[in-house]
Amino acid sequence: MMIEPRLIFLAITLAVATGCASSTARVAEVSPRYVRAKQSASGDVQVAGGNVRINSGQVGASVRNAIGQEFFVRWTSSDVQSVTFQYRQVRHEGKVAEQTAPASQGRWHVFRISDDDFKSGGPVSAWKVSLLDASGACIADKQSVMW
C-alpha cells in the first residue's frame, strides 16, 4: 500500500499548524462593567462596580446611576507590546474613540470611560480590542457584535 505524497504533506501541515496555534496571540476576554458611586453612612462617596450585559436592551438602575464604564481585557502571548481599545458610545455613534495601553504590566489591562467622556457620550455601544506587536502591526483582535 502506497501513501500519496499529497496526504503526507497535508498531515505534516496540519501537525505544524496545530502546534503553532497555541503560541499565537489572541484576545482571551473582554468583560464590561458599569462603575457607580455609592454614598456610605459617613457621607463619603465610594466607587462600586457591577457586572452587566452590554446591549441587552434593558436599562436598569446600574446604568442610570453609572458614573463610568470599565472593560477588563485579557490576552495570551508575550509578543504583545500594546493594546488598543476602540469604542463607540450611545450618544456619539458616528465617533470612534480610542485608548492605547502598553502591555508591560502583564497580560491584562482595564480600560476606563468615565467623567466627561461618559457623561457626554453615555454607555459604550460597540467596541474592538486590537493586540499590537513591536512594529505596531495588529496580531490579533476581537470585537463586539455591534462593531
Higher pLDDT, 126 or 23: 126
Average pLDDT over the chain reads 78
Higher pLDDT, 40 or 81: 81
Of residues 126, 124, 85, the one with CA closest to residue 102: 85
Taking the C-alpha atoms of residue 144 and residue 147, their distance in angstroms, rounded to an integer, is 5
Does residue 71 sit within a domain? yes
Does residue 7 sit within a domain? no
**CATH code for position 51:** 2.60.40
Q: How many CB atoms lie within 10 A of CB 140?
A: 19
Does residue 15 sit within a domain? no
Taking the C-alpha atoms of residue 68 and residue 54, their distance in angstroms, rounded to an integer, is 13
Our count of domains for the chain comes to: 1
Does residue 50 sit within a domain? yes
Does residue 51 sit within a domain? yes
Question: In which element (H, E) is residue 11 found?
Answer: helix 5-21
Residue 143: predicted pLDDT = 98
Does residue 2 sit within a domain? no
Report pLDDT digits (tens) over 81-135. 999 999 999 999 889 999 999 998 789 999 999 989 999 999 999 999 999 999 9
- Range of 94's domain? 25-143
Does residue 9 sit within a domain? no
Residue 14: predicted pLDDT = 44
Residue 21: partners with Cβ closer than 8 Å, 6 or more residues away: none
Read off the pTM: 0.70
Asked if residue 27 lies in contact with residue 75, where contact means CB atoms within 8 angstroms, the answer is: yes
Does residue 74 sit within a domain? yes
